[in-house]
Chain A
Amino acid sequence: MAPFHLETIAGTIGYDLIFLLIGMGFGAVLELSGFGDSRKLAAQFYLREMTVLKVMFTAIVVACVLVFLSSALGLLDFGRLWVNPTYLAPGIVGGLVMGVGFILGGFCPGTSLVAASTLKLDGIFFVLGVFAGVFLFGETVDAYQPFYHSTAMGRFTIPEWLGLPYGVVVLMLVLMALAMFWAAGVSEAFFGARKSWQEIRATPWKKGHLAGAGALVLLAGVTAAIGQPTLADRWGWIAADGQQQIALREIYVEPVEVVDLKKDLTLRVDVLDLRREEDFNRFHLAGARRVTREELRDPAFVKTLLAAGDNTIVFLASNGEEEATAAWKDLKAQGVVNLYVLAGGINGWLDLYPPPACIATRAAGDPSGDTMQWRFSAAVGDRIPSAHPDRATRDPLPACALEARREEAVHGAAGHDEETAPRTFVRKVRLQRKVVAKGGCG
């Protein structure tokens, strides 16, 4: 499944070599299109020659159609592609500044490099200018850090914004680009060649243009018709590995390890509780968040998990393991890493860290199935010590439990041993860094 984990396949040298080759393709195409010539680039802003717009938008729609078509066909995992995170305000301000630099200097950074490589002296001066600008930025950005980090929206795509399927947006983009190309042709004939409106209207369509436009619309239509991969498709890609991890119980983490990890201040431990609200209210782990399976399929929710830091570990908990394992598959398919299931579920947790007898008792019910095996006389939530065995200072016991303990003391019952939980366990959690490489720019 593309994109490939290049560093493991090709090694560091091979990895760099691939970037070198892609760069060479990039440079060669820019040069071939005439982007090494500042006059050609500047002409865009006088509507005489629309080469910049034509090349840029053709490239965008061609790449866009290919990316989402291969994603629809299950050849490429769009979730693992680098999508420039949106910082709206700095993006717009930076863009306006760049527009000014563009019309004064006649290049953008990439094209100036190509101009310089073919000994265009203005290109060489521009590249030197870019170095100076980049240096100045580093020296001055501290003065406006809050602005630089403002309006951050993370990985935010147009289909997410509009609430439309990816394929439909791709098709819309293609149609929009075609309309722009038509307008560009008119503009060139009008402002460049100074033709009259009658002449422009009489000019026949070029066969090559029609064929290219037809191919783009067709491929975009196919992309929209197939649709992007569903959750089931995505699970299918990784099912072999995933099922093996489940079978080997690699994903099931013992409560003792969870408690241990919660004590580690360098980690962030998130517990997502999948049980019904009643069960959750009766008892849940301290800091747990109740989620439904539907929420786990909501891209907006999953985005928050994906955006979490590399030191975040997510545990899924249900009464047993069944429901949590199903949820694990859902999230795994959506690319969430450092994701585990609470071994034995909440039932197993309570067996290990039992609540006071006056609050809850173990029911002798069917141990299989994903139902609560403990009967609570009150909804205590996380207000009993069982909910946070990791804390040094524990909540006071509920009144009824204190009562029971006092009676025990009076009647000379055996002293309580708080540390009864076995402390040996096999560590399962292996922190994994997110494989989202940084973009080439910025």
Chain B
Amino acid sequence: MKRKEPRPYVNPYVGGALLGVVLFLSFYITGNGLGASGAIAHVQAAILDLFAPGHVDRVATFAEMAGGTRNALDSPGVFMLLGTFLGGMISGIANRRFRPETRKGPGISTGTRWALALAGGAIMGYGARIARGCTSGQALSGGAVLSVGSFAFMFAVFAGGYALAWFVRRLWN
């Protein structure tokens, strides 16, 4: 049986407006913006707590989330993270985009792409913790409520990306 083609993505301005409404509702109902990296840190601390609880208690960053009897997963952000995953999956299934595949530039192998994704993810995760938030939690949420630091952060992300883009153009073109 022939697979149906994925449906096209929505217009970016429509998608952006919808995202803006979700972000506004988040602020309106909970007083908080959206986010992902903080909750990932919580999940990471919870996993580490399973294997090395003593170590978690000794490292301040982890102890703050999962030290002693603290349950790192007991944080609303973790539920938002789970929701983000589910929401993405539902939309992916509904739009026929739920299928195993690797998206990459034409010039590199799948293995290279995976390795770079892993490395990029590690750098991103590390940077997100230095900046106290990721693109969603800092740039998007902080930007909407006009935080000075969030705008500075946003420009730094774009600056870092554009500065390196030319050197790694073979990865994507």
Contacts and interface: CB of A to CB of B under 8 A. Distances in A.
B160 A98 contact: yes
A22 B30 contact: yes
A288 interface: no
A20 interface: yes
A235 interface: no
B142 A113 contact: no
Contact of A94 (B23, B24, B77, B131): B131
A267 B131 CA distance: 32
A441 B36 contact: yes
B17 A59 contact: yes
B171 A104 contact: yes
Interface in B8-64: 9-10, 12-13, 15-41, 43-45, 47-48, 59-62
A441 B136 contact: yes
A62 B20 contact: yes
Interface string A187-226: 0000000000000000000001100100000000000000
Contacts of A282: none
A132 to B, nearest CB: 5
Interface stretch (A75-83, A327-335, A342-350, A424-432): A75-83
- Of the four ranges (under 10, 10 to 19, 20 to 34, 35 or more), the interface on chain A belongs to 35 or more
Contacts of B102: 120-122
A interface: dominant SS: helix
A182 interface: no
Interface in B73-105: 76-77, 79-93, 95, 97-105
B91 to A, nearest CB: 4
B40 A130 contact: yes
Contacts of B173: 46
Interface in A127-142: 127-139, 141-142
Interface in A104-131: 104-123, 125-131
A253 to B, nearest CB: 29
A157 B24 contact: no
Nearest to B9: A34
Given A20-B82, A22-B80, A60 B129 contact: no
A12 to B, nearest CB: 9
Contacts of A134: 37, 40-41, 44, 125-126, 128-129
B68 interface: no
A157 B145 CA distance: 8
B146 A157 contact: yes
Contacts of A34: 9-10, 12, 15
Contact of A57 (B16, B23, B105, B156): B16
Given A20-B80, A45-B165, A440-B77, A36 B157 contact: no
Nearest to A127: B121
Contacts of A326: none
Contact of A27 (B31, B83, B150, B155): B83
A2 interface: yes
A194 to B, nearest CB: 14
A137 B36 contact: no
Given A27-B88, A126-B118, A102 B160 contact: yes
B16 A108 contact: no
Interface string A49-82: 0110011111111111011001000001010111
Given A36-B97, A38-B104, A45-B162, A95 B152 contact: yes
A33 B16 contact: yes
A110 B22 contact: no
Interface string B102-134: 111100001001111111111111111111111
Contacts of B118: 105, 125-126, 128-129, 132
B145 A59 contact: no
Nearest to A25: B22
Contacts of A56: 16, 135, 139-140
Given A22-B22, A59-B144, A122-B114, A15 B76 contact: yes
A441 B140 CA distance: 11
B161 to A, nearest CB: 4
Interface of A: 2-4, 6, 15-34, 36-40, 42-46, 50-51, 54-64, 66-67, 70, 76, 78, 80-88, 90-123, 125-139, 141-142, 148, 153, 155-161, 166, 169-170, 173, 181, 208-209, 212, 436-442
Closest 8 CB pairs of A and B: A105-B120, A441-B137, A99-B160, A129-B121, A23-B83, A58-B16, A440-B35, A133-B125
Given A26-B22, A134-B40, A442-B37, 19 more contacts: A19-B77, A20-B86, A22-B26, A27-B91, A56-B16, A62-B17, A63-B27, A88-B149, A90-B130, A91-B150, A93-B156, A97-B130, A101-B126, A103-B160, A126-B118, A129-B118, A134-B41, A137-B129, A441-B133
16 contacts: A22-B80, A24-B84, A29-B18, A60-B143, A67-B24, A83-B145, A87-B132, A95-B154, A97-B160, A106-B117, A117-B86, A119-B101, A130-B125, A141-B61, A173-B146, A442-B128
